Structure formats: structure tokens, C-alpha cells
């Protein structure tokens, strides 16, 4: 049996950089801290990634590739399959939803998961974009693609009452994308260094719940009722829900 090759140094540097950027924020991590965490010399770091911009560009390339894959996988799940008569234990709640809501929830989950993995990007998005040209040029098209995918999935949903026009769908898609990408940033204000932050799956589930919760008043039944039951679960509120804090507390 062939022994597994160790990860190349350049890739290992990006792995550690991503973990530290996610925990402390990109501006708060120095190259000397990265070298200490990696156990390598500054010369070795700069040999593989000559500048700080190169580190950010390398991580952004990973984000772009992972996002493309997430969009592709979500697009293949068109929601054509009917909901099972009996829920599968451990399966996501949306398996009981209509095919169109299940498709939207799957898409939202894929986008939120990718944003969570690269959450340093959305910690202070405007500042990061202003300092890194690769993000200034590359991130807006990716955000637009995500909003367009959400709007397309929204258009297929059955609604309560009058038909929802494209202008309203575009607004909803924008709000949903903001929630899916920035939700962890709001939670992070309570725990800047992630000592108590929700685990990845829980944080993603909460972000999806917040995004889909915007639609509940306008969703047709039984989807509205199903979504409502999910949103009142204790796990959707988190350990310290900032939006339920008492006034002045």
C-alpha cells in the first residue's frame, strides 16, 4: 500500500492561515504568528507565499472553487423528489417540505456552509475588500451569482396570497444572502475569538433558519407551518441570542 503523501508546505500554510484568520480576523494575525504556529521560518513562508496579499489570494481561490462546487451541487437538487411519508432520522428538516422549499433550503445551506468555512472574508467585508485588489475584483461577481441563484429558487416557491413580483424576490434574495454570509459576524460580536462560538453545523443551521425565516409570513401552507416549527426549536436561538437581550442589558 502506497503511503499517503504529506500535504505540501504551501497548502499547509493556507490551512493554518485560514484557521487563524477565521478565529482572530485577518488584520489581527501577523506573519510571525503564522510562522510560529506552523513551525517554519519567515523565509520559508515567503518562499511559498511572497506577500500577505498572496495568502489572501490563495484563500480566496479556495473559496471560489468551493463556492462553485456548492452552487453546482445545489443546482442538481431541483427539488423534483416528493417528500418522504416518514422522516429519515438525522436528515435535515426540509426533507418534509415541498420540493421547491427543499431546493431553496439546500441551496441556502450550501451557501451558508461555504461562508462559514471562509468566515474571515465576511468578518469586516468592506475593510478587507478595500485592502485586497483580488477581493475587490473577484468577490462582487460571486455575491451576484449567489443572489441570482437564490432569486431563481425563490421564484419557484408557492406563495400565500397575491403573486410575488420579481422586485420583491430580488429584495428577499439580497436579504437572504446577507443573512447567510454575515450571520456568523453578528454572533461573533458576542465572542470575537470564538471561544464559545457555535460549532460549524449549528452555526450554518442557524444562518439558514434566519434567512428562510424572512419568507415565513408569505409562504403557502404547509411549508409555512413546517418552517415555523423548525424556527422555534431551542437550537435555533443559540446559547446567547443577541436579538432577545433585554433592553439596556
pLDDT band at residue 240 using 50, 70 and 90 as cut-offs: very low
Q: Is 153 exposed, middle or buried, given 0-12, 13-18 or 19+ CB atoms closer than 10 A? A: buried
Secondary structure E strands in 75-136: none
Q: Which of 6, 135, 113 is nearest to 59 (CA)?
A: 135
Question: Would the CA dihedral through 129, 111, 73, 218 be positive or negative?
Answer: negative
- Give residue-wise pLDDT tens across range 117-176: 999 999 888 999 999 999 999 999 999 999 999 999 999 999 987 878 999 999 999 999
Residue 24, C-alpha cell as written in the block = 482572530
Q: Which CATH number fits domain 55-80+88-243: 1.25.40, 1.10.357, 3.30.920, 1.10.8?
A: 1.10.357
235: Cβ–Cβ under 8 A, 6 or more apart, which residues? 202, 205, 206
pTM: predicted TM-score of the whole model, two decimal places: 0.84
23: Cβ–Cβ under 8 A, 6 or more apart, which residues? 193, 194
Look at residue 95 in the predicted model and tell me its pLDDT.
85
Scan for cell 421547491, then name that residue. 100
Q: Where are the domains of the chain?
A: 7-50, 55-80+88-243
Identical fold at 7-50 and 55-80+88-243? no
Q: Which CATH number fits domain 7-50: 1.10.540.10, 1.10.3210.10, 3.40.50.300, 1.10.10.60?
A: 1.10.10.60
Amino acid at each position: 500500500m502506497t503511503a499517503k503523501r504529506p500535504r505540501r508546505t504551501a497548502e499547509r500554510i493556507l490551512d493554518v492561515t485560514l484557521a487563524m484568520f477565521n478565529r482572530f480576523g485577518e488584520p489581527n494575525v501577523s506573519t510571525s504568528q503564522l510562522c510560529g504556529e506552523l513551525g517554519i521560518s519567515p523565509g520559508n513562508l515567503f518562499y511559498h507565499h511572497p506577500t500577505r496579499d498572496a495568502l489572501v489570494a490563495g484563500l480566496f481561490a479556495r473559496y471560489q472553487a468551493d463556492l462553485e462546487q456548492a452552487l453546482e451541487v445545489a443546482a442538481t437538487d431541483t427539488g423534483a423528489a416528493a417528500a418522504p411519508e416518514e422522516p429519515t432520522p438525522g436528515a435535515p428538516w426540509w426533507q418534509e417540505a415541498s420540493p421547491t422549499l427543499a431546493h431553496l433550503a439546500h441551496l441556502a445551506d450550501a451557501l451558508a456552509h461555504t461562508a462559514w468555512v471562509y468566515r474571515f472574508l465576511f468578518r469586516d467585508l468592506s475593510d478587507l475588500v478595500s485592502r485586497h485588489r483580488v477581493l475587490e475584483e473577484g468577490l462582487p461577481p460571486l455575491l451576484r451569482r449567489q443572489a441570482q441563484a437564490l432569486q431563481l429558487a425563490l421564484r419557484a416557491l408557492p406563495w400565500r396570497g397575491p403573486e410575488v413580483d420579481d422586485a420583491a424576490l430580488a429584495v428577499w434574495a439580497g436579504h437572504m444572502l446577507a443573512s447567510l454570509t454575515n450571520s456568523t459576524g453578528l454572533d461573533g460580536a458576542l465572542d470575537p475569538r470564538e471561544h464559545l462560538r457555535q460549532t460549524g453545523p449549528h452555526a450554518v443551521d442557524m444562518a439558514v433558519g434566519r434567512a428562510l425565516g424572512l419568507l415565513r409570513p408569505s409562504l403557502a401552507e404547509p411549508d409555512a407551518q413546517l418552517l415555523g416549527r423548525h424556527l422555534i426549536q431551542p437550537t435555533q436561538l443559540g446559547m446567547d441570542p443577541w436579538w432577545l437581550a433585554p433592553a439596556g442589558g
